[in-house]
Amino acid sequence: MELCEITATELSRMLRKKEVSSVEITNSVLRRMEERERELNAFITVTGGIALRQAAIADRALQATKGMPSLAGIPMAIKDNICTRGIRTTCASRMLEGYVPAYDATVVRRLRKAMTVLMGKTNLDEFGMGSSTENSAFGHTRNPINKDYVAGGSSGGSAAAVAAGEAVFAIGTDTGGSIRLPAAFCGLVGMKPTYGRISRYGIVAYASSLDQVGCLTRSVEDCAMVMESLCGHDKRDSTSAPLASPQLVENLQTGVKGIKIGLPAEYFVKGLDPSIERSVMNAVSIIRSSGAEIKQISLPHTPYAVSCYYLIATAEAGSNLARYDGVKYGYRADESCKDIASMYEETRSRGFGKEVKRRIMLGTYVLSSGYYDAYYAKAQKVRTLIREDFEKAFREVDCILTPVSPTPPFKIGERIDDPLAMYLADIYTVALNLAGLPGITLPCGKADGLPLGFQIIGRAFDEATILRVGYVYEKNSGS
């Protein structure tokens, strides 16, 4: 096995035993990028020179200092809608093609403090709007398992990079499943934490009440280790919870004896691919045999989640993206514009891609006079009902287990001209964002050689329990 394919946990151990250096690991990752990046297109910006300098610094620190952060010297990648000082942040949009932030997002500052090694900024659906990483102004990302298939979205570049060995772990964002779906499609562990658990400061906004930062890793222990580095209160983010970073790694081996896990009837219905249902139920059997209690539950408002999500998300997107007007920064179409109104129109018409414009128009419509109460206000009421469904369920169970996607990964181009089919890929993931709850995705088998996944949902700020359950499954499934 190449160094670029090893888990972060194992590489961390090897670095501390001085069996390998960060420069050696980084060079292994760079070689893999040379081999595969041209066909995969996982990155928008590669920072090989920066990575080697950071690796050399980490090696010196690891040699001289005891008690270094667990992620020191580990190569990673960051989704390109997260601000990085001095490194362009494009959101995969022509609108921000040349934008170079003057500051780091809080999660980037924490990763720098942990002395990680930045390999580059990964591809995504433009502004995070998509489920396949086909809506990028810089070309689509391919699935490393089978390059004819999508890597999922919108954090598809992050998922592809880790799955291909172009990074040991990656940071993504999740507004309606954008970490969990790519993780499932690429055979990875992906976590979306509780809303407020990780700072959103420096994340380019899509839908502010739904956006969250999380990670894509090769194992549950890697996930817990990365989460510990990212979590914690941040005064720069008014939605950041006033909680310290939890101790997640040491809690993993507690086991699942006595834990009650709910299976919601609404997630196992017609339309769920039989191969996914079989794989998920096999995961349930493994977890049950490890000591957990399985219970049937109901989340009755689940059928309304997708409609609710796409009303709220597009409304917030329309407001957030109003700032891209060609005046202060970003793309500006002024070479043939006769006045400021035409400049605004041309800038937004040329700078935004098709899917982004579709969501802006939908969001503008649902917020417009005469339609606000019928659509946006009603969606907010349904959001409350969805959150109350989860609250009621968690009086009976400790966590909930569901599929991630109703289908296995689909081919590139198969759904790009059918927005409704694309949106329905999120049917099992959006409810967590509406409710603000944590969820973790784990691989649970394959169909026609392509990865399948399931997700575990937890109570607010109880990432520890879902990581414990995931860890038990991983150890007993041979994953």
Mean pLDDT of 90-115: 97
pLDDT of 479 reads 63
pLDDT of 444 reads 97
Mean pLDDT of 427-438: 98
Average pLDDT, rounded, for the chain? 96
User: Could you confirm whether 154 is annotated as catalytic?
Assistant: yes
8 A C-beta contact, residue 311 and residue 423:
no
Q: Which of 447, 453, 448 is nearest to 477 (CA)?
A: 453
Q: Let me know if 161 is exposed, middle or buried by CB neighbors in 10 A (0-12, 13-18, 19+).
A: buried
Mean pLDDT of 299-321: 97
Pairing assessment for the beta strands 169-173 and 189-192 based on DSSP bridges: unpaired
pLDDT of 66 reads 85
pLDDT of 207 reads 98
8 A C-beta contact, residue 85 and residue 105:
no
Q: Which of 185, 203, 216 is nearest to 77 (CA)?
A: 216
Neighbours of 63 (CB within 10 A): 10
Say what percent of the chain tops pLDDT 70.
Answer: 100
Peptide bond into 154 cis (omega under 30): yes
- The structure tokens 């022509």 sit at 94
Mean pLDDT of 353-382: 95
What pLDDT, in 10s, does the model give residues 188-231?
999 999 999 999 999 999 999 999 999 999 999 999 999 999 99
Of these residues, 136, 158, 178, 240, which one is catalytic? 178
User: Could you confirm whether 245 is annotated as catalytic?
Assistant: no
Which phi and psi (to 5°) does residue 451 adopt?
-65, 150
Task: Indicate the pLDDT class of residue 242, thresholds 50, 70 and 90.
Answer: very high
Q: What is the dihedral of CA 383, 425, 422, 325, to 10 degrees?
A: 50
Q: Which tokens sit at 122? A: 């990964």
Q: What is the pTM of this model?
A: 0.97
Of these residues, 79, 93, 132, 279, which one is catalytic? 79
Q: Which of 368, 46, 107 is nearest to 231 (CA)?
A: 107
Mapping DSSP onto H, E and C, the string for the chain reads CCHHHCCHHHHHHHHHCCCCCHHHHHHHHHHHHHHHHHHHCCEEEECHHHHHHHHHHHHHHHHHCCCCCCCCCCEEEEECCECECCECCCCCCHHHCCCCCCCCCHHHHHHHHCCCEEEEEECCCHHHCCCCCCCCCCCCCECCCCCCEECCCCCHHHHHHHHHCCCCEEEEECCCCCCHHHHHHHCCEEEECCCCCCCCCCECCCCCCCCCEEEEECCHHHHHHHHHHHCCCCCCCCCCCCCCCCCCCCCHHHCCCCCEEEEEHHHCCCCCCHHHHHHHHHHHHHHHHCCCEEEEECCCCHHHHHHHHHHHHHHHHHHHHHHCCCCCCCCCCCCCCCCHHHHHHHHHHHHCCHHHHHHHHHHHHHHCCCCHHHHHHHHHHHHHHHHHHHHHHCCCCCEEEEECCCCCCCECCCCCCCHHHHHHHHCCCHHHHHHCCCEEEEEEEEECCEEEEEEEEECCCCHHHHHHHHHHHHHHHCC
What pLDDT, in 10s, does the model give residues 4-30?
999 999 999 999 999 999 999 999 999
Of these residues, 93, 154, 155, 240, which one is catalytic? 154
- The structure tokens 């004896």 sit at 257
pLDDT of 231 reads 98
Looking at domain 3-257+403-477, its CATH superfamily turns out to be Amidase signature (AS) domain (3.90.1300.10)
Mapping DSSP onto H, E and C, the string for 171-218 reads EEECCCCCCHHHHHHHCCEEEECCCCCCCCCCECCCCCCCCCEEEEEC
Q: What is the dihedral of CA 215, 220, 221, 223, to 10 degrees?
A: 10
Mean pLDDT of 450-464: 98
- The structure tokens 């670029």 sit at 4
Say what percent of the chain tops pLDDT 90.
Answer: 95
Mean pLDDT of 29-44: 98
Mean pLDDT of 255-260: 95
Q: Where in the chain are the domains?
A: 3-257+403-477, 303-374
Neighbours of 60 (CB within 10 A): 11
Task: Indicate the pLDDT class of residue 475, thresholds 50, 70 and 90.
Answer: very high
What pLDDT, in 10s, does the model give residues 373-398?
999 999 999 999 999 999 999 999 99
pLDDT of 397 reads 98
Does residue 478 register a pLDDT over 80?
Answer: no
Does residue 164 register a pLDDT over 90?
Answer: yes
Mean pLDDT of 452-468: 98
pLDDT of 189 reads 98
